[in-house]
Chain A
Amino acid sequence: MSLYSLQKLLYQLNRDPDSRARFKQDPAAHARAFELTDEEMKAVLDPDIGLLYVLGVNGQILMHYAALRGLEWSAYIEAMREGVRRHGPVRAGIYAMVEE
């Protein structure tokens, strides 16, 4: 359930200006309304884009959250690679990194 909640939180931040405003005012309070594990909460608040990637957040949601948090394209790609180096392979979903 919690990966769904995590993605719902990020989806709403990407799409809804009111959610963004509430999050900006008090990130932790806003995020507590969602059923998140401690690891997920930390990844959102840091933000740790690499860890969010490893946790299995769908790329089409994470791509926009990364942009929202100010990462330009190449920094976003590198953050995902760094996430895999630090936290291991993607744990869920279909956006896993493949060997080239």
Chain B
Amino acid sequence: MPLVFAGVCSHAPGITGRKDQADPAVRDAFYGAFDRMRLAIEAAKPDALVVVGAEHFANFFMDNMPAFALGMADHYEGPIEDEQWLGIKRRRVPGDRALSERLIARVMRDVDVAYAEEWKFDHGIMVPLNFLTPRYDVTIIPANINCQGPPLTPLSRAWAFGRALRKAADEMPERIALVGTGGISHWPATPNSGKINEAWDREFLKRWSANRRDELLSYTDAETYREAGQGGFEIRCFIAAAAAAEGATGEIWFYAPIPIFAVGCTIGVMNL
């Protein structure tokens, strides 16, 4: 079946972990946009949701860091963080090993991807799931792009990964949805946590919505680091989602800097 849904959302741990410290009006509008996205995903009736995240040394460490990885298990678990710190209770999340294996085999024809038969989700996946599949009744296929630090896969490869995921999804009999998660400009886990380059974010989201490959891939990592912080390397997940929706344009349903969440909070959806 052709891909049934593609979108992007933020995943910062503060979104759930420090929710009481945010301006309630902005926070609730953001949560409302998350809920609108949940309804759109539900309306697409997916058999499985591929979540393209950028994990933060939960499973993959510097001793053996894949540029790209896909989960291949019948169930996962998360969050790996302290439940109280993240504000999300630990639980089992359903997967589908057989579907993963078919997807991975297809993706590998275009992009070399590591597989993981065990995967403990961190906030990068658990925060989106907390809002998008709150009953944890949707099959999740986790995907990871290393965005933690150099050496990083080039943006063009993140695009290729997204395109490969699309080709694979289209060839499956199942209905597949895809969500990319990450920050745009942000400086998380530094003393500058809360700094957000709103102008840079808005320009990036304009390019994401227009979904023109050359514009999205024109950023250099040096420029991103300078203008958008080390957290900005996570644009790879947004770019993969755009590639998965190649040929379509998108809409930004929500964008607002929420400093205590340490990121410009974003919900964007492609019109497939």
**A interface list, Cβ under 8 A from B:** 4, 7-8, 11, 14-15, 58-64, 67, 73, 77, 80-81, 84, 93-98, 100
Which of A4, A94, A100 sits near B150, CB closer than 8 Å? Answer: A94
Contact status A59-B63, CB under 8 Å: no
Residues of B within 8 A of A (CB): 18, 56-58, 61-63, 80-82, 85, 148-150, 187-193, 195, 225, 229-230
What is the minimal beta-carbon distance from B11 to any residue of chain A, in angstroms?
Answer: 12
Q: Which residues of A contact B189 (CB under 8 A)?
A: 58-60, 62-63, 95
Please, which residue of chain A has its CB at the minimum distance from the CB of B59? Answer: A15
CB atoms of A58 and B187 under 8 A apart: no
When A7-B62, A15-B80, A94-B150 are in contact, do A60 and B191 touch as well, CB less than 8 Å? no
**Complex interface: chain A residues within 8 A of B80 (CB):** 15
Query: Once the chains bind, are A80 and B191 in contact (CB under 8 Å)?
Result: yes
Residues of A contacting B191 with CB < 8 Å?
77, 80-81, 84, 97
Q: What is the interface of chain A mostly: helix, strand, loop, or mixed?
A: helix
Interface of B: prevailing SS: loop
User: Which residues of chain A have C-beta atoms less than 8 A from B61's C-beta?
Assistant: 8, 11
Contact of B85 among A60, A67, A93, A98 (CB under 8 A): A67
Contacts of A11 in B (CB 8 A): 57, 61
The answer to whether B63 touches A8 (Cβ under 8 A) is yes
Q: Which residues on B sit within 8 Å (CB–CB) of A94? A: 149-150, 225, 230
Nearest residue, chain A, Cβ from B122? A60
Nearest Cβ on chain B to A67's Cβ, whole angstroms:
5
Pairs of residues from A and B, 10 with the lowest C-beta to C-beta distance, nearest first: A59-B189, A60-B56, A94-B230, A63-B189, A80-B191, A81-B191, A97-B191, A95-B190, A94-B149, A67-B85
- B62 x A60 contact (CB < 8 A): no
Cα–Cα, bound, A67→B230 (Å):
21
Closest chain B residue to A97, Cβ basis: B191
Which of A8, A67, A81, A84 lies in contact with B62, CB distance below 8 A?
A8
Asked if B148 and A100 sit within 8 Å, CB to CB, the answer is no
In the docked arrangement, what's the CA distance between A95 and B225, Å?
10
CB-based contact B195/A98 at 8 Å: yes
Could you say which of A60, A64, A93 has the most chain B C-beta atoms within 10 Å of its C-beta?
A60
CA–CA, A23 and B249, complex, Å: 52
